[in-house]
Amino acid sequence: MENAIVDGSTRLFGIVGDPVTQVKTPQLMTAIFRAQGINALLLPFQVAQEGFEAAMRGLMSLRNLDGLVITVPHKVRACGLVDSLSPRADQVGAINVMRRLPDGTWYGDMFDGEGLVRGMQKQGFSIEGKRIKQLGAGGGGSAVAVALAAAGADTITLCDPRQSLAQGLASRINRFYPRRPAGVTADSAGTEGYDLLVNCSPVGMRPGDGMPAPFGEFDPSLGVVDIIMHPEETPLLAHARRCGCRAMNGKPMIEGQLESFCNFFAIRQP
């Protein structure tokens, strides 16, 4: 296609979320397609919760659309739309990627957790043997907790205002990883006795958001991870840095995932 950006033969991929302006996957993946001479684009698709299934069925029926990345707030519901799941996605109960198989059915997988763990390890956070407190037990949170358990966390304590979500996720971790006990707490702000604090709630993403809990001073030995990517420094991360903590945002999580997306969508890696 010479240097045209798009033509009638362009294959389509997308990222489905709401909001969607903050996502970085379109420019990152599209740059990879172009570097490899592949006539494809990865587009932002803003899909509201209302009418989600209808919008997804519409996208999935496009004959020139080959795969979708799924982001907040759709990772759990998207799980119900695919015909088959990886074992990992089945453990998590949510997906963040889906692709059309040669037989026309759709297959889902979940890379959020392993992406974050790989990013943490690169940034010098150790997970093995650590006592972890995690805020948020939705789609992204489930993926992170399962991956933290798989990476050898000592204990994982979950806090989510949707108590049944937190309880369900703890039970799932205890079933799949019986040596990594998971529990729940209603105390969102306490960090005493923990080595790592991981925020998987969306609080901090929207302008005007504060911290996801009314935190006091952190001990400088506490590691703090916020899976939010935009803004780059959430109020939680700003607070953590002021307290002298090692802190990390969600950017390494998605950067760690690009390689997984390429493999999943069967693109030669950059």
Rounded CA-CA distance 32/180 in Å is 38
Sheet holding 97-100, edge to edge: 40-46, 11-17, 65-70, 97-100, 106-109, 84-85
Question: Residue with structure tokens 């302008």?
Answer: 207
Q: Provide the residue count of the chain.
A: 270
Interacting residues with its own copies between 97 and 126 (CB under 8 A): none
Stretch that binds its own copies, among 14-22, 101-109, 165-173, 206-214 (CB under 8 A): 14-22
Q: For residue 186, state whether it binds its own copies (rule: CB under 8 A).
A: no
The answer to whether 23 and 15 are in contact (CB under 8 A) is yes
Q: Residue 184 CB, nearest distance to its own copies (Å)? A: 33
Between strands 97-100 and 65-70, the pairing is antiparallel
Residues ≥6 apart with Cβ < 8 Å to 27: none
Q: For residue 32, state whether it binds its own copies (rule: CB under 8 A).
A: no
Half-sphere exposure in the Cβ direction for 93 (13 Å, CA): 16
Q: Residue 18 CB, nearest distance to its own copies (Å)? A: 7
Q: For residue 47, state whether it binds its own copies (rule: CB under 8 A).
A: yes
Site string for its own copies, 49-68 (x = CB under 8 A): --x--xxxxxx-xxxxx---
22 vs 188, which CB is nearer to its own copies? 22
122 is catalytic: no
What's the DSSP call for residue 20? -
62 vs 101, which CB is nearer to its own copies? 62
Stretch that binds its own copies, among 16-24, 119-127, 135-143, 209-217 (CB under 8 A): 16-24
Active site (catalytic) residues: 75
Rule CB under 8 A: which residues touch its own copies? 4-10, 12, 18, 20-24, 26-27, 30, 34, 41-48, 51, 54-59, 61-65
